[in-house]
Amino acid sequence: MKAIMKTDRGPGNVELRDIEVPKIKPDEVLVEVKFTGICGTDIHIYHDLAFYTPPVVLGHEYSGVIVEKGSDVDGFEKGDCVTSPATIPCGQCLMCRTNRANRCLGEEKRILGAHKANGTFAKYVAVPKMILHKIPEKLSLQEASVAELVACVVRAAFERVSVEPGDVVAVLGPGPMGLLTVQAARIAGAKQIILTGVSADKERFSVAKEFGADVIIDVEKENPVEVVKNLTEGLGADVVFEASGSSAARKQAFEMVRRCGKVGLLGLTGKPTDINLDSIVEGELDVKGSWGTVWTSWKRTLNLLSSGLIRVSPLISAKLPLEKWQDGFKLMEERKALKVLLIPS
């Protein structure tokens, strides 16, 4: 089968290869991948900027159909439509035992498309039953392939930092995560949703409006901290989500949140940010990081998607055959696409 592999360490070293169809273990199923999304992580691995262990088939956002199941697998049958998170936790460590398997510390942890587990940029992928979720009937395979991204936002916006009815919520960064956070804030009953981005994000701003953003701030034209303060009688936003991964936005988050407000950090900057942490003490801020997903995030996500409360179709900018992965990576890197789906054949 054809697969997109990171063959070695270093920048680049990604190629289309012909490899064997995976052999499943007793606790695994073989999934025929129908749609698989290109994630920022895949691009970071391409550039050697994220954790991975080569050689490995890339890709972890997907939907597919079970075509074979191991002898120990119950509750799933051939023909079931499924999706899953990327992390295959050890199930034994402190994090796993305290419902934080997203931050598993175990040596045996594997990550689809990155570490000790070939990913979904291929016609078939082997997935352990432990992490599988059935796709509800009302949800299409195409939309379900974006579920992982939604689950990350559900984790951040409902499980880590909770938005309360009537809150003023600021979302920094109009990438897929930011745009989904806008929808999450809307569902939670925010009174006003403010989204920030740069001039190049123009098209993303219109998606944000469609998803329920009330105020859009182009940070190249206006000072976002001032605008938020003006909109809130000098108080600041009740909740700020940083979803851009920019140090400047991170600083703004702490400057625009109200006293005793909440800050959710979803984006990684890859470097230290110059912030005076006294502001957390003096402001009695609730600051939460959010990373990946746990089981409950997926349950909630699949309910929200199948009921239409969260919509992902406007995020899907392009669908390409797997062989055209380079075009897909380029569209994402040049910010010409929010989400590109690859279709293996």
Binding site for Zn ion (CB under 5 A): 39, 61, 89-90, 93, 96, 104, 106
State in angstroms the smallest separation of the CB of 149 from Zn ion: 6
For residues 224-244, one letter each, b for 16 or more C-beta atoms within 10 angstroms of the residue's C-beta and e for the rest, the string is bbebbbebbeeebbbbbbbbb
Task: Identify which of residues 96 and 225 has a Cβ nearer to Zn ion in the complex.
Answer: 96
Q: Name residue 242's beta-bridge partners.
A: 172, 265
- Classify burial at 67, counting beta carbons within 10 Å of its beta carbon; exposed 0-12, middle 13-18, buried 19 or more: middle
Task: Identify which of residues 36 and 192 has a Cβ nearer to Zn ion in the complex.
Answer: 36
Task: Identify which of residues 97 and 259 has a Cβ nearer to Zn ion in the complex.
Answer: 97
Of 180, 170, 117, which is closest to residue 148 (Cα–Cα)?
A: 180
* Residues in Cβ contact with 194 at an 8 Å cutoff, skipping those fewer than 6 apart: 168, 169, 170, 171, 213, 214, 215, 216, 217, 227, 228, 231, 237
DSSP tag of 192: E
Distance separating alpha carbons of residues 215 and 228, to the nearest angstrom: 9
Task: Identify which of residues 156 and 168 has a Cβ nearer to Zn ion in the complex.
Answer: 156
State in angstroms the smallest separation of the CB of 36 from Zn ion: 10
Strands 2-6 and 56-57: antiparallel
Distance separating alpha carbons of residues 339 and 37, to the nearest angstrom: 7
Task: Identify which of residues 100 and 324 has a Cβ nearer to Zn ion in the complex.
Answer: 100
Task: Identify which of residues 147 and 216 has a Cβ nearer to Zn ion in the complex.
Answer: 147
Of 99, 77, 12, which is closest to residue 47 (Cα–Cα)?
A: 12
State in angstroms the smallest separation of the CB of 37 from Zn ion: 7
State in angstroms the smallest separation of the CB of 302 from Zn ion: 17
Task: Identify which of residues 29 and 147 has a Cβ nearer to Zn ion in the complex.
Answer: 147
Distance separating alpha carbons of residues 227 and 224, to the nearest angstrom: 5
State in angstroms the smallest separation of the CB of 2 from Zn ion: 21
Task: Identify which of residues 170 and 265 has a Cβ nearer to Zn ion in the complex.
Answer: 265
State in angstroms the smallest separation of the CB of 297 from Zn ion: 13
Of 184, 193, 173, which is closest to residue 243 (Cα–Cα)?
A: 173
Distance separating alpha carbons of residues 15 and 56, to the nearest angstrom: 11
Length of the chain equals: 345
State in angstroms the smallest separation of the CB of 91 from Zn ion: 6
State in angstroms the smallest separation of the CB of 150 from Zn ion: 11
Distance separating alpha carbons of residues 75 and 42, to the nearest angstrom: 31
